Structure 1
Amino acid sequence: MKKFLFRLYLILMKFVASFSKINSKSIVILNGAGRSGSNGYLFAKYMKKNHSDYEVTVVEPWPSSHLSFSIWRKIGQAEFIMTTHQPFKIHSQQINIQFWHGVPLKRMGIMANNTERKADLRNVKLWQKNADIVCSSSDLYETMMSACCAIETSKYQKVGFPRIDVLKKPVITKKQLLHDLFKQVDDQAQIGIYMPTFRYELEDGQIIKQIKAGNFLVLPDFDIEELNQELKKQHRYLLIKLHPYEQQLVGNFTSQYSQIAFLNDDYLFKYECDLYELLGATSFLITDFSSIYFDYLALDRPIIFITNFLSQYQKKRGLLIGPYPEVVPGPCVKSQKELVAVLAARDDYQAKRHYWYNLTNQVQNISACEAIFKLMNKD
C-alpha cells in the first residue's frame, strides 16, 4: 500500500513540477546512494569546483515524500537530471544521465529470484522511457545491466564512473584515519575495511540479531577479543562500514578495541566526503557479495570474501556470475579462524585481480567526470 501511495505522490508532484520552464545549465542530482560510493554526490563536487557557471542541486535522500515545492520546481527546471538509482525526469526534453551505484553482481530486476514480475516490467519501462544516457565502464557491465533491466545498447556511453576518479586520491590520510578512528599512531599500520552487502534481504532474523549483538561479521566462531589480538600482532586495523540500511536498523556502533573501529556516516558528513574518498588510504578489503570489490580492483590491493551465507544468498536473490568462489579475485572464508589465517598469508591473487579489472573497466586512463561533462556539452 505504501508503494502505491508513493507512486501516486510522484505522479502528483511530477504534474506540479511540469509547469516549470527548463533552464539551461541547470543540473539536479537525485542521490539515493548517500555517502557510500555516490557517483551523484562526487560528480556534484566536481562540477562545483570546476564548472561553477552551472547550477547544481543535490537532492537527498532520494526518493523521498518530504521534498519542498521549491525542490520540485528545481527538478522540473533542470536541463539534466542525474540519478544513482531508477531513472527519473519530469519533461521529455530533459536529459536523464543514469550513473547507477555499482557494477551489478547480485541479480536484480527481471533476473532476480525475489522480485515480482509486475514490478520488474514496470521498472523496464522506466528505463526505456526515462534513461537517455547510461554511464558504463565495460562491455561486461552493459551485458549485466541489460540482463537485469533490458536496457537498449544505444543508451550506453563508456565514460566510467565518478566514484572511480577519487579512489587513488584520498582526502583523508592513513595517519589521520588512525588518529580519528583508532586513536593510534603506528608507522607499520595497514588499515582494512569490511563492507558487507544488504544482508537484511535474506529475511533471516538471526543475522540482524547477531549484528546487533556485536557479531558484525556474522561468523559462527566470532570472538572479537581474539580477532583484535590477531589484528594487533599483524599491525592491522579494521574499519567496519555496515550497509546503510543495516546501519539504520542497528544505529551507530562504537568500539572499545584498539584495532577495530566503526565508520559511521557522521564521520563522512563531518569531513564532507564520500566513502570512496578515503578508500585509497586502506590496504585491504573484506566483503561478502558487495559489488564494491569491482571498484576496489583499481587499487590493486588484497580482497577477502566472507561466504558463509553464499548458498542462502544464491537461493534468495541470486548472483550474476559464478561459481562464486572460483571467479572472485581473492580467498573465500567461512569462519574467523580462516579469516585470520588468510590475513597472515601471502597475497597470491594479483594476476586474477588484474584480469577482472581489465574485464570490468575498459576506460582506466580517463577522468569520468570530465568525460561526462564533455558528453553533456556534445552537440
Structure 2
Amino acid sequence: MTNLSFIQKIKGLKNSSVTRRLFRAVFVILGKLPKKKKLMVFESFHAKQFSDSPRSIYEYMKENHPDYRLLWSVDKSAIHLFESFNVPYIQRFTFEWFWTFPRAEYWVNNVRLPRWMPKPSGTVYLQTWHGTPLKKLGLDIEEIHMPNTKTDSYKKNFALESEKWDYLVSPNPYSTEIFKRAFHYNGEVIESGYPRNDLLTNHSDTLISSLKKDLGIAEDKKVMLYAPTWRDNEFYQKGKYKFEFQFDLENWIKEFGDEWVLLSRMHYLVAENFDFSAYEGVVYDVSLYPDIRDLYLASDLLITDYSSVFFDYAILNRPIIFFMYDLENYRDQLRGFYIDIEKDAPGPIVQTEKELFQAIRAMSDSNVQLSSTFSEFKNRFSSLEDGKATERVVNTFLK
C-alpha cells in the first residue's frame, strides 16, 4: 500500500458515519460531567483562523475579564498560526479536546459546528455569524448547487444547528430579520453591530502605517484590495472551490503598478494556490493573512463582487468597486440577493476588465461621502458600528 492510499484510508475512516457516531457518543457522555465554570472556548471558520468576531470577543475578554479561562479549538493545520500569536489552544478532536470542549461553560463560534456535536445542557453557545447577507442564506436558498449537497438536507442541517444557539449576533436590523428566517432561529438576537468591526472605528494612522510595513508595502504606495467570493457551482470537491482571475494582471500592472499595489484575498473556501512571484512587490497573495480587518485598514480601495466584505469596508468611507462579471448568472441561477444590488450598491458595478480599469481611475481619488447612495447605504447597514459592539455582545451573553 502506498503512503497516499494509506492516508486516504485514514481520512476516510475519520470522516465515516461510524466515527461520527462514536464521536457523538463520547461528546454526549463527557458533556454530562460538571461544567468547567468560566471556561470559554472559541472557534473561527472551522477552527482554522484566529480572526473575525470570535477574535474580537477573545481580545476583549482577555483585557476586561481576566478571571475567565479562554481557549481556542484549533484544527491541526492551523496550530502554527495560533502558536505564532501565543494564543492558548487545544487541538480539535484530540483526547484533551473531547475532555474539555463539551464541558466548557461558553462556546463562541462564527460558522456551523459539525452536525454530530450536540450542545450539552448548561453550555451557553454564542453564534456570531460572519457577515451581513447580500446573497441568500440557509433556508432562503431555493436550490443548492454545492457538490454532494442536497437542498433538503442542507436546510434541515441549518435548522438543527440553530437550535443549539443561545445567542446570535446581528450587525443591523436588516440582518436580524433575515437571520431569524433563514436560520429558522427563535432564540435571542444581540443586535449590536459586529465585534470584528470595532477596530475599523477605533484605529489610528500609526496602526495603518505599521500594518503596511508588516505587509512589506512602501509607505508611498496606494493599496488596492481584491476580495471576491466563491461560486457554488465551480468546485474541485466539497469544500474546495475553483477561482480564475477575470482581469489580466499584466494589464493591471501596466495601468496602475507605478502608483498602486494589489492585495489578492481569496475566500477561505477557494482552493487555488496562486503564484504571483512574477509580480513580486506589486501583487501580494494575502489569502492566508490571519485577519482581513488589517487588510481593510491597510487598503485605500476595495474591489469585490458578492462577498459581504463591502458591508464592513463601507465603515471606512473608502471607495468600493463591484466587479460582477457574472452578475446575471449569480443573481438568477446560483443564489439570488436580498437587496437590489444594482440600485443600492455603494459603488459602481462593472463586468469587464475595461470597465474595471475605468472605474478604478474614476474612484481612486473620489470622496465617497459625497454620494447620497453611499450615505444611505451606511445609514441602513452601519448605524450600529460605533466601536462598542464587542462590549455590548459580552455584556449581554455574560449576564
Q: TM-score range by the shorter chain?
A: 0.7 to 0.9
Q: Name the CA shift for 1:66/1:86 in 2 (closer, same or farther; >3 Å).
A: closer
Residue 351 (structure 1) aligned to one of 367, 372, 381: 372
Q: Distance in 2 between matches of 1:143 and 1:181?
A: 38
RMSD (Å) for aligned C-alpha atoms: 3.1
- The answer as to whether partners of 2:55 and 2:196 remain within 8 angstroms in 1 is no
Q: Name the CA shift for 1:172/1:67 in 2 (closer, same or farther; >3 Å).
A: farther
Residue correspondence of structure 1 range 92-131 to structure 2 within 5 A: 92-112=121-141, 113-114=143-144, 116-127=151-162, 129-131=163-165
Cα shift at 1:98: 0.9
Q: Name the CA shift for 1:48/1:209 in 2 (closer, same or farther; >3 Å).
A: closer
Whether 2:107 is the aligned partner of 1:81: answer yes
Q: Distance in 2 between matches of 1:26 and 1:337?
A: 54
Q: Which residue does 1:250 correspond to in 2?
A: 272
Residue 263 (structure 1) aligned to one of 286, 289, 303: 286
Cα shift at 1:170: 7.0
- The answer as to whether partners of 1:172 and 1:278 remain within 8 angstroms in 2 is no
Q: Distance in 2 between matches of 1:297 and 1:183?
A: 23
Q: Distance in 2 between matches of 1:10 and 1:225?
A: 50
- In structure 1, the gaps of 5 or more residues are 269-273
Whether 2:394 is the aligned partner of 1:373: answer yes
- In structure 2, the gaps of 5 or more residues are 1-11, 79-90, 145-149
Q: Name the CA shift for 1:373/1:176 in 2 (closer, same or farther; >3 Å).
A: closer
Cα shift readout 1:166-201 (whole Å, capped 9, x = no counterpart): 224279855455555455452xx32121111123x2
Please, what TM-score do these two structures have when normalized by structure 1?
Answer: 0.83
Q: Which residue does 2:296 correspond to in 1?
A: 279
Q: Which residue does 2:38 correspond to in 1?
A: 25
- The answer as to whether partners of 1:31 and 1:61 remain within 8 angstroms in 2 is no
- The answer as to whether partners of 1:81 and 1:89 remain within 8 angstroms in 2 is no
Residue 358 (structure 2) aligned to one of 328, 333, 341: 341
Q: Distance in 2 between matches of 1:7 and 1:171?
A: 49
Q: Distance in 2 between matches of 1:312 and 1:292?
A: 21
Q: Name the CA shift for 1:331/1:301 in 2 (closer, same or farther; >3 Å).
A: same
Q: Which residue does 2:337 correspond to in 1?
A: 320
Whether 2:157 is the aligned partner of 1:157: answer no
Q: Which residue does 1:306 correspond to in 2?
A: 323
Matched-pair identity in %: 23
SS of 2:277's partner is: coil
Cα shift readout 1:76-99 (whole Å, capped 9, x = no counterpart): 221111121126653221111110
- The answer as to whether partners of 2:127 and 2:167 remain within 8 angstroms in 1 is yes
Q: Distance in 1 between matches of 2:223 and 2:129?
A: 28
Please, what TM-score do these two structures have when normalized by structure 2?
Answer: 0.79
- The answer as to whether partners of 1:170 and 1:281 remain within 8 angstroms in 2 is no
**More divergent stretch after superposition (288-297 vs 251-260):** 251-260
